[in-house]
Amino acid sequence: MIGILDSGIGGKGIEQEVTRLLPGVGTYYLRDAEHFPYGDKPPEEVVRIIDENCGLLVSKGAKLIVLACNSASVVSLAHLRRKYQVPFVGVVPAVKPAAALTKTGKIAVFGTALTSSSQALEELIEKFCQGITVYRIPLEGLAEAVEFGEPEEARRIVGETWHRYRNLGIDVVVLGCTHYTLIRDDIQHLVGADVKVIDSNEAVAKQVKRVWEGLIP
């Protein structure tokens, strides 16, 4: 069984991709509503919460765990891989493909406060974005609006935030929160057809498939 963990519904997009690629494999989706959202909490608190949840997934028989949350992944993966024997697949913003796609040399990462300020994102930018301007844009309240089914509020947050950046020549937007992928079409409409909007869902699912198949004797 593959365990999939997020603080809410954001990871459902990844679960759908995993199920499509591995249709015969069971999944267990742990929606940690009690601690939603992860992205506005201190890193050490998120690590503690994720550690407890992963222990629960292991006790339920998970042979592989997917952290279907950028905020959780950027602060927790190293700790989890040291502590547990099962493999982990995390989610990080798709900075590398964005750097390859941009024609203007300007990209944006839409994320939570935790992801936007994380060392992991900084390292991705340093590694893959030499000569490229990266705007780290936290969208306060957007994950909550998606989680609680408030589409008008979600569109307001994206629209008002993007208004401050729309004339800077950004031509690629990275969705650095799995919740944001659930309103990808709305975000694409708001940023305009000339801007590519990308996420990590398919890439994460492909990595899950590779790791899972590597576990089979």
Q: Which residues are catalytic?
A: 69, 177
Residue 169 neighbours by CB distance under 10 Å: 12
Task: Give the position of tokens 């301007």.
Answer: 133
Structure tokens at 170: 């950004």
**Residue 14 neighbours by CB under 8 Å, 6+ apart:** 4, 66, 68, 91, 178, 201, 204, 205
Tokens for 85, please give them. 């024997």
Distances (CA, A) of 41 to 28, 46, 102, 145, 195: 25, 6, 32, 17, 31
| CA-angle at 215, arms to 210 and 217, nearest 5° | 120
Tokens of 208: 């899950």
Q: Retrieve residue 24's tokens.
A: 């015969």
Q: Of 21, 4, 20, give the one whose Cα is nearest residue 64.
A: 4
Do 88 and 72 meet the contact criterion of CB atoms below 8 Å apart?
Answer: no
